[in-house]
Copies of this chain bind each other. A is one copy, B any other.
């Protein structure tokens, strides 16, 4: 009997982690194990307590006949602080400097563990918002968008710079880059976004805000609306077109001559409701 409980809670833990933001009925678990719902409820109470104690996330209980539990991934403040500090440390490595003051961050975007943590942090900031899709621009934003979407259990929509035959009919807009003032195009497959969707816009880097602004214009073509804006790195820029967003890291200054990069924590802890609601450190 003791082993049976162990087996149930291991399997349920795995199941819940694989199905974030989804209502899982007690019946599903009860049938899966041939157990009474009361035993399942006890198991879930243990899982919930452990998830919360260990900073894994939380289980929300939805009562009633159509009820069940929903798992939300969470990151505790200390873990989040440490992770962002580590990101800053990695990003300010002068070895990342490219000609023109650009930074090489493809290694961070290609590291599955880093990307998963970035996704979890950004997703948890939007856990209580109604979000139908995550939108990004190809190609660097894609892993971040997927990592967020996996935790929110919503689809990813990818905007491109040019249309491809495998996308079918597309909607195209022109926009002006915020920092370089160049006119650029953005294309989205018509089938990829439902009319009226509430969309979380995601990118790896934001300076003048032109790319995000382009995505906002594109949303208008689909009668869709902005549910939030999340970027990995924001660069200090006086006339940024975007003011309501969440960033993990802020690039303050890049001095090509001295090969010095100055990076600080972004506005994550200022903008993220969860940490605003008085959680103690």
Could you tell me which A residues sit within 8 Å of B by CB distance? 2-3, 5-7, 9-11, 13-14, 17-19, 46-47, 49-51, 53-54, 56, 98-100, 102-107, 110-113, 115-116, 138-140, 142-143, 146-147, 149-150, 153-158, 160, 165-168, 189, 191-192, 205
Give Cα A47–Cα B11 distance, bound, in whole angstroms: 9
Pick from B98, B113, B139, B158: contact of A110, CB below 8 A. Answer: B158
Residue of B nearest to A117 (CB): B18
Give Cα A62–Cα B263 distance, bound, in whole angstroms: 40
25 intermolecular pairs with C-beta atoms under 8 Å apart:
A5-B6, A6-B46, A7-B46, A7-B53, A7-B54, A9-B9, A10-B10, A10-B46, A10-B54, A18-B116, A19-B113, A100-B165, A103-B166, A104-B167, A104-B168, A106-B158, A106-B166, A110-B149, A110-B155, A110-B157, A111-B155, A112-B149, A142-B142, A143-B146, A146-B147
Give Cα A145–Cα B106 distance, bound, in whole angstroms: 14
A156 and B103 contacting across the interface, CB-CB below 8 Å: no
The verdict on A191 contacting B106 (CB below 8 Å), with A50-B11, A139-B139 known, is yes
B106 and A189 contacting across the interface, CB-CB below 8 Å: yes
B102 and A54 contacting across the interface, CB-CB below 8 Å: no
The verdict on A140 contacting B166 (CB below 8 Å), with A104-B189, A146-B112 known, is yes
Pick from B7, B98, B154: contact of A165, CB below 8 A. Answer: B98
Residue of B nearest to A20 (CB): B112
Pick from B99, B112, B192: contact of A106, CB below 8 A. Answer: B192
Closest Cβ of chain B to A4, distance in Å, is 10
CB neighbours of A157 from chain B (8 A): 110
A100, A110, A143, A160 — most chain B CB neighbours (10 Å):
A110
